[in-house]
Amino acid sequence: MKGQEFDNDIALVTGATSGIGRAVARALGKAGARTVLNGIGREAAADVVTEIEAAGGAASFVDGSLADADGWKSVLAAAEAAYGGFSVFVHCASPPRTETQTVLRVSEAEWDAMINTNLRSGFFLAQAIARKMRQSQIRGRMVFMTSLHAETPRNLPHYSAAKAGQAMVVRELARALGPDGIRVNGVAPGAIPGGGFKADVSTLERQIPAGRTGTPEDVAAATLALLSDKHCGYVTGEILAVDGGLALYNWLGRPENLDA
């Protein structure tokens, strides 16, 4: 693993046991970063840790949900116990969502879990990590995994609100931490089948200029580029759409039933 750009980095990746978070953790680990994976599901995490170690890297897993208001505190404490402070933080964690969690149906519990995981936990993890970066004079990098729905409503109000909040948190952190040499950016994935994504893929692909839906690996590659001082050292406070051009279309129609 020696001689790679991220050899000197220690990374924390949330939501790292599935989907995009898993792909990001795997990519960072294989690129040389000592990587702490956070998520739910020890077996899935063990597969990623094994894969990273087989490639000559170092990784560990911290179990724990960020859906509780203060869950981030125990996750951070356990993560710091593994490697100490971090130079890279990628926040991918987000609760499962269903198409029934609409404006008139989403519950308080679903709202709280979505906001706590995406926004509250993401911000306070970033705040705590940034304080240590500053104290140690580490030129750190952070990426928040937001969404095209930070800008475009989808009748999933808790999800859209959480992602819109993340986009502003990215800008607030970037502005405040830039003088300390800490870069903060966001990635807005497009249509990435799996997880909470539900759509008629064949129809959707006809609306995507790139001609296909994306993969977690597409998003992971863009995330590593943003984290790279070599490639994006002068980029901060930006939200990069990784969507094959999907956002160029008004691709969401009116929900069939606003009471659904």
CA torsion, points 237, 65, 113, 24, in degrees to nearest 10? 40
- Please give the model's pTM, rounded to 2 decimal places: 0.94
Choosing among 2.20.28.10, 1.20.1060.10, 3.40.50.720, 3.40.250.10, the CATH entry for 10-248 is: 3.40.50.720
Q: Is the dihedral of CA 153, 22, 81, 113 positive or negative?
A: positive
Query: Is residue 181 classed as helix, strand or coil in its secondary structure?
Result: coil
Tell me, what's the pLDDT at 200? 74
Catalytic (active site) residue 83: no
Do residues 197 and 214 lie in contact, with contact meaning Cβ atoms separated by under 8 Å? no
Residue in 159, 160, 230, 249 annotated catalytic: 159
Using DSSP, state whether 221 is helix, strand or coil: helix
Buried b (16+ CB within 10 A) or exposed e, 81-112: ebbebbbbbbbbbbbebeeebbeeebeeebbb
Largest CA distance in the chain: 56
pLDDT tens-place string over residues 163-200? 999 999 999 999 999 999 999 999 999 999 876 666 67
What is the C-alpha to C-alpha distance for residues 110 and 83, in angstroms, rounded to an integer? 33
Q: Tens digit of pLDDT for each residue in 88-121? A: 999 999 999 888 899 999 999 999 999 999 999 9
Q: Given pLDDT bands bounded at 50, 70 and 90, which one contains residue 260?
A: very low
Catalytic residue among 163, 198, 230, 234: 163
Is 249 among the catalytic positions? no
pLDDT bucket at 152, cuts 50 / 70 / 90: confident
Choose the catalytic residue: 74, 147, 160, 198: 147
